[in-house]
Amino acid sequence: MLVASSVSIVGTRISTIALPWLVYTETGSAGLTGLVLTAEMAPYVLSKALGGPLVDRRGPRAISVFGDLLSGAFLVLIPILYAVGQLSLPDRIPVLLALVALAGAFRGPGDGARNAMIPAVSDATGVPIERITGLDSTLDRASALLGAGIGGLLVAVLGAAQTVAFTAGTAFVSAFVVTVLIPRISPIDAEEPGSYLARLRAGGAFLRKDRLLRAILGMIAVTNLLEAAYISVMLPVWVHSNGHGPALIGLLGMLFGGAAVASSLAATTLAGRFSRRTAYLVGFTLCGAPRYLALALGAPLWVILATNVVAGLGAGFINPTIGAIFFERVPRRIIGRVGSLADALAWAGLPVGGVVGGLAITVLGISPALALAGTAYLVSTTVPGVRPEWRQMDRERAANGATPDEA
């Protein structure tokens, strides 16, 4: 499971460098650059939300393989069409938007299915869920680190369009790993009565009742929107405007990812020995605003590099905390549909993040847009800390003597 997930994340990180660089360098339009992300993430978020009942009914293994194969098939068409002159930009931008939209639509359920495997993996191995979520987060960060470095290098050497072929290849490898190495996981609710819509509504009803999960998802939705604006538009535009190349984007990603790997390992090793609430809120505060404000203020390059290291150290504590809380609170029988809905809500800002980033740059300019985004990130990650439901993060762990179904 961890290998399949890591390979997929490497490919996704490569594409987040290659596709924005392709569009911006060939069109010079921040708006079109952001639109590509929207075209991919809108169907991704929607299909992930709607795919949860299928994961519970058909089993996560089948949905994971199906999603990887189809998303890879659409992505591999991008370098092929570009090579034969059928994807020249901006004239053929609708073709590119359609391909990334179809790839995103099938990647959403596949990603959700791999996450839904975690409880079954815990049962099969005897490894506690909190430790598995920590390992998963660590490899997530390590894969993003590797993907950022590979992506920046490949774009510089091969060109952005041809680099997308590597993303397609990682999707096929992920499907192969799941098919060959992961035993069949029995569907959780194969015998549960009720229609698809009834099962989908059950997942939504659970989230509506859980104030802590709702608060976490709301905060993550805002920060993900800002991250989408930063990664897909603001950072490439800033790098290009200041005379740098895609290798700098890769370097920043590697510094962020390397620090995040180190802190995620620490979070996994020290699981249960620190306040989740403190780690979560401090981690988010360090993760976002410093990177944005350093660019906005025109800081020296060494300061920009250092802020990415600090941000990565904060980021490493976030995902293990979220994962452990989620699997403690959600009953096993509805893990697929609740998890898919939760991921979709957390990622709801991604489809509009690129458009917001492009619009902000067009209206304000790159430095004011970065300053505004950094300020919004700081407010959104500090103000929620005063809400009473956040105290349940540590209370939940203290009372975690029962499984979610027993609770």
Question: What CATH number does residue 239 fall under?
Answer: 1.20.1250.20
> Of 190 and 5, which is predicted with more confidence?
5
* pLDDT at 385 > cutoff 60: yes
State the pLDDT at residue 398: 47
**23 occurs within a structural domain:** yes
Kindly state the average pLDDT of the residues 220-246.
Answer: 89
Cα dihedral across residues 206, 211, 214, 216: positive or negative: negative
State the pLDDT at residue 355: 83
Kindly state the average pLDDT of the residues 304-310.
Answer: 94
**127 occurs within a structural domain:** yes
Kindly state the average pLDDT of the residues 276-283.
Answer: 81
> What percentage of the chain reaches a pLDDT higher than 90?
23
Q: Spell out the residues 6+ positions from residue 379 whose beta carbon is closer than 8 angstroms to its own.
A: none
Please give the single-letter amino acid code of residue 178: V
* pLDDT at 26 > cutoff 50: yes
* pLDDT at 91 > cutoff 80: yes
* pLDDT at 230 > cutoff 60: yes
Can you list the alpha helix ranges (DSSP code H) found in 117-195?
118-125, 129-158, 160-181
Most confident option among 111-115, 266-270, 315-319, 358-362: 358-362
* pLDDT per position as a tens digit, 314-364: 888 887 778 778 878 888 778 778 887 888 888 788 778 888 888 999 899
State the pLDDT at residue 102: 95
State the pLDDT at residue 271: 64
Q: Which of 151-155, 278-282, 387-391 has the lowest mean pLDDT?
A: 387-391
* Cα 227 to chain centroid, rounded: 10
Residue 401, SS3 per DSSP: coil
Burial 59-92 (b: 16+ CB within 10 A, else e): bbbbbbbbbbbbbbebbbbbbebbeeeebebeee
Range of the domain at 140: 2-178+198-398
Local confidence band at 217 (pLDDT 50, 70, 90 cut-offs): confident
State the pLDDT at residue 405: 39
**272 occurs within a structural domain:** yes
**184 occurs within a structural domain:** no
**252 occurs within a structural domain:** yes
Taking the C-alpha atoms of residue 255 and residue 343, their distance in angstroms, rounded to an integer, is 26
Q: Which of 35-39, 300-304, 367-371 has the lowest mean pLDDT?
A: 35-39
Q: Contact, 276 vs 354, CB < 8 A?
A: no
> Of 148 and 394, which is predicted with more confidence?
148
**189 occurs within a structural domain:** no
**124 occurs within a structural domain:** yes
Q: Contact, 323 vs 271, CB < 8 A?
A: no
Q: Domain total for the chain?
A: 1
Closest C-alpha among 385, 395, 365, 141 to residue 281: 385
State the pLDDT at residue 100: 92
Closest C-alpha among 208, 211, 190, 186 to residue 199: 190
> Of 347 and 81, which is predicted with more confidence?
81
**164 occurs within a structural domain:** yes
State the pLDDT at residue 34: 77
* pLDDT at 92 > cutoff 70: yes
Kindly state the average pLDDT of the residues 39-52.
Answer: 84
Local confidence band at 118 (pLDDT 50, 70, 90 cut-offs): confident
Taking the C-alpha atoms of residue 126 and residue 236, their distance in angstroms, rounded to an integer, is 44
* pLDDT per position as a tens digit, 248-260: 888 888 888 888 8
Closest C-alpha among 156, 167, 170, 41 to residue 108: 41
> What percentage of the chain reaches a pLDDT higher than 70?
93
